[in-house]
Amino acid sequence: MTQTVINPRIRGFICTAAHPAGCAANVRKQVELALKDGPGRGIGNALVVGSSAGFGLSSLLTLAFAHGAKCLGVAFERPAQGDRTASAGWYNLVEAHRLAKIHGRSIDTINGDAYTTAIKEQVIAALKASGVKLDYLVYSLASPKRTDPVTGITHASTLKPIGPSFTAKTVNLDDSSVGPITIAPATDADVANTVKVMGGEDWQLWIDALRAADLLAPGFRTVAYSYIGPQLTHAIYRAGTIGAAKDHLEATAKTLSNSLAAIGGHAWVSVNKALVSQASSAIPVVPLYIGLLYKAMKAKGTHEGTIEQILRLFRDHIGPGKQPALDANGRIRIDDFEMAADIQASVQAAWDKVDTANLAAISDFAGFRSEFRGLFGFELPGIDYTAPVEVDLALNA
C-alpha cells in the first residue's frame, strides 16, 4: 500500500493525476442526490457501457441508487502503479462500489476496452452466470480511438469542420487568454474515422451481441448520449466531424428501435447539456462557450450537472412507465434549459464582447476551471490536500 501527497498535474485539457478522496467526495454528492430523487426500486437489471465518469457514471449511480437496479458497468480505467495514482474513473468506481454495499445496492464492474469483442463476451458470460436479463442499457463511451473488431484497423476521431475552415474565439486553458483560432477543414477520411469512433456502430454491436445471447428482457430500453449545441459552436461541433458521428448515432437509434420492437423494446438518443468533461475541454471554442453558458444558467437558477441531468432523464422520460417527449427527429431533449431563448441570447451578447481582459467578469470561466480540476478530485471543499492518502485502492474489493 502506498500513501503520498497528491498534487494536480494539469496542462491544457490533460490531467495525469487524480485524488482518491476528492473523487470519492464527487461520487458521494451524486449518490446523495440519487437517493433523494428516486423511488429506491423499480428497475431490475442494467448495463452501463462507459460507467466511470461524466454522464456514464451519473447513469450508473442513478440506476443503482435512485432506481435500485442491479448494475454491471464497463469501463477502461488505470489502477495505481507505485506512487502513481490510478485514473479518476478508477477512484470514482471504488467509491461507487463502497457506497453500494453500504446502501444495499448492487454494482459490479468489468474493466477493459468496451470496443473489443473480448469484453463483450466477458460481459455476456457474467450476465449468463448471474441468470438475469437486461432491462436497460446505457451507452456512454467517450474515446478518441477505436479499433474495429473485424478489420483490426484503429480509427482516430478528429475535431474539424466539414466544408470551409472555421475561425472563432477560444480560450487558452493554460493562461486563460482569449484569442482567435482557425481550424482546417476535415478530409473525407477524417469524417469516416470519426464516425467509426463516435457513431453508433459499437452501440449496435453491443445490442446485437446481447440479443443473440438472449439477454434482453421484454420491454428492454437503451439510450445513448449526444449533443447539438448552439449556433456559436455549430461549425466545429454539429456541422463538423463530431456532428457526422452524432448523426450516425441517431440513425442507429432508429434502426435499433425497429429491431427491438419485437420484444417491446426501444432505443433513444438523449441530447444532453454542455458540461465540463475532459472530452468537451479538448474541443476548441467549447470551453469559452461553457464559461459563458454557466454564468447565464447559474444566474437564472437552471444550471445542472451530470447527475441532475440523468436523474431528470429517467424521472421524466425513460424510467419505468415513462414515455419520453421527443423532438421532430425522435430525440429526447434534456438540453432544453441550455437552449432556452433567453439563455442563448445572454450567451451571444457576452460572446460578442468577451476578451482576455473581461473574461473573469462576464463569464464563469473560473467555475469551468474549478470543475475541470474537480473531475480529477481536486479543489473539492473539505479535502486536506496536504495530507498523504492511499493511492492503491482495489476496485472490486
Pairing of strands 216-226, 266-271: parallel
Residue type, position 380, single letter: L
φ, ψ dihedrals at 60, nearest 5°: -60, -45
What is the per-residue burial (b if ≥16 Cβ within 10 Å, else e) of 136-157?
Answer: bbbbbbbbeebeeeeeeeebeb
Q: Which residue in 350, 160, 144 sits closest to 238, CA to CA?
A: 160
Q: Tell me how far apart the alpha carbons of residues 83 and 388 are, in angstroms, rounded to a whole number.
A: 11
φ, ψ dihedrals at 108, nearest 5°: -125, 155
Count Cβ atoms below 10 Å from residue 118 Cβ, excluding itself: 11
| Residues ≥6 apart with Cβ < 8 Å to 282 | 13, 159
- CB-CB contact of 161 with 240 (8 Å): yes
β partners of residue 161: 240
Q: Which residue in 57, 14, 71, 96 sits closest to 393, CA to CA?
A: 96
Tracing cell 491544457 back to the chain, one arrives at: 12
- Eight-class DSSP state of 187: P
- Angle among Cα 288, 292, 295 to the nearest 5 degrees reads 140
Q: Which one of the listed residues 91, 136, 237, 294 is annotated catalytic? A: 237
Q: Tell me how far apart the alpha carbons of residues 228 and 207 are, in angstroms, rounded to a whole number.
A: 24
Q: Where are the beta strands (DSSP E) in 140-290?
A: 145-147, 154-156, 166-171, 178-183, 216-226, 266-271
φ, ψ dihedrals at 263, nearest 5°: -110, 15
CA atoms within 13 A on the CB side of 175: 6
Active site (annotated) includes residue 225: no
Q: Which residue in 232, 323, 215, 340 sits closest to 286, CA to CA?
A: 232
The three-state secondary structure class of 219 is strand
Catalytic residues: 237
